[in-house]
Amino acid sequence: MTINLKRNERLDELQRNGYRIIQNPEKFCFGMDAVLLSGFAKAKEGDKTLDLGTGTGIIPILMEAKTGASHLTGLEIQEESADMARRSVALNGLESKISIVQGDIKEAGTLFGAASFDVVTCNPPYMTGGHGLKNPDAPKAIARHEILCTLEDVVGQAAKLLRPGGNFFMVHRPFRLAEIMVLLCKYKLEPKRMQLVYPFVDKEPNMVLIEANRGGKPRMTVERPLVVYERPGVYMPEIHEIYGY
C-alpha cells in the first residue's frame, strides 16, 4: 500500500513482519522505552489491549507482531500523532486488528467503558511540573511532561479500563518508583513484576518496567536487570532480541 508522507515525515522500518511506521522528527519519535515496553508486556491469545497515549502507534503495532491479542487500540490526544498512527496502521494492512482513537486519557473510562480490556499499556510523560519547558504546547513537551495528564490519571484510568484480573504494563523512570507503587496500590493494581533497565552495567538504572494486576494478591517478582549497551554503540544480545534483529 502506498502512503503519501506529509511535510517532515519519514518511514522507519520496525524489523517485525516487515512493518513500518510513519514519524515526524520535528514533532516526536518513539524511543527505546516504547520498544522495551512492547517486549515486556504480555497479551494472551484473544486478549483486547489498549495503549494509553499511543503517540504514533508504535506499541500496538509491535504488540500485534509479538502477541496473540485479538484487537489492539491506541488512544492519543494529539491530532497529528493520531493521524500518523492511523496511516501507519493502514500502511501495514492492520485496520482489522488495530484501532486508533483520538481522545483524552483522563476520559478513557468514559470513552471505552469500565472493564473493557484485558491488557492496558502506557509509556506516559515522565516529568512533573514545567521544569525546562520552553513551549508547553509543543508535541515533544506534551509527550515528556505531565501537561495534559498526570501519573495518577494514567493509573486511575487503567484501573477503570481493566477487567478483574487484567494486567497493566508501564515504563517509567526509577526516580518516581515510590510514587508509582503507592498509586498502583491505591487503585487496586497489585504490582506483580518489575525490571530495572541500565544503560551500562556500571551505571544507575534509567528506566523501570512494571506489570500490575487488577485485584491481584500481594507478591512481586523483581526480574534480573536489563542492560542496554555492552559498550558504547553496541547493544547487548537481549536488546537485539527485543528489537528483532
Q: Could you tell me if residue 60 is inside a domain?
A: yes
Global pTM reads 0.92
Residue 145: pLDDT above 50? no
User: Which value, to the nearest 10 degrees, does the dihedral of the CA atoms of residues 32, 197, 44, 124 take?
Assistant: -60
Q: Could you tell me if residue 161 is inside a domain?
A: yes
Give the residue carrying C-alpha cell 515510590. Answer: 178
C-alpha cell at 166: 487484567
Q: Mind listing the pLDDT tens digit for each residue in 8-40?
A: 999 999 988 999 999 999 888 899 999 999 999
Comparing CA positions, the residue from 125, 223, 112, 97 lying closest to residue 158 is: 112
Q: Could you tell me if residue 1 is inside a domain?
A: no
Q: pLDDT value at position 126? A: 63
| Buried-exposed string 18-37: b where 16+ CB fall within 10 A, e elsewhere | ebbbbbbeebbbbebbbbbb
* Residues β-bridged to residue 213: 167, 190
Where residue 204 sits, what CATH number does that domain have? 3.40.50.150
C-alpha cell at 165: 484480573
For 177, phi and psi rounded to 5 degrees?
-60, -40
* Spatial distance between the Cα atoms of 104 and 62, rounded to a whole number of angstroms: 22
Residue 6: pLDDT above 50? yes
3-state secondary structure of 22: strand
Which residues have a Cβ under 8 Å from the Cβ of 69 and sit 6 or more positions away? 43, 44, 45, 46, 47, 48, 49, 63, 119
* Spatial distance between the Cα atoms of 4 and 231, rounded to a whole number of angstroms: 39
Looking at the chain, the whole-number percentage of residues with pLDDT higher than 70 is 89
Domain that holds residue 17: 10-243
Q: Could you tell me if residue 5 is inside a domain?
A: no
Q: Mind listing the pLDDT tens digit for each residue in 57-114?
A: 999 999 999 999 999 999 999 999 999 999 999 999 999 999 999 999 999 999 999 9
For 93, phi and psi rounded to 5 degrees?
65, 35
pLDDT band of 244, cuts 50, 70, 90? confident
Q: Could you tell me if residue 193 is inside a domain?
A: yes
* Spatial distance between the Cα atoms of 214 and 168, rounded to a whole number of angstroms: 8
User: By the 8 A CB rule, do 56 and 77 touch?
Assistant: no
Domains contained in the chain, number: 1
Q: pLDDT value at position 222? A: 98
pLDDT band of 130, cuts 50, 70, 90? low
Q: Could you tell me if residue 99 is inside a domain?
A: yes
Q: Could you tell me if residue 179 is inside a domain?
A: yes
Q: Could you tell me if residue 3 is inside a domain?
A: no
In the chain, alpha helices (H): 32-40, 58-66, 79-91, 108-112, 139-144, 151-161, 177-186, 237-243
The residue-averaged pLDDT of 114-130 equals 85
Q: Mind listing the pLDDT tens digit for each residue in 162-218?
A: 999 999 999 999 999 999 999 999 999 999 999 999 999 999 999 999 999 999 999
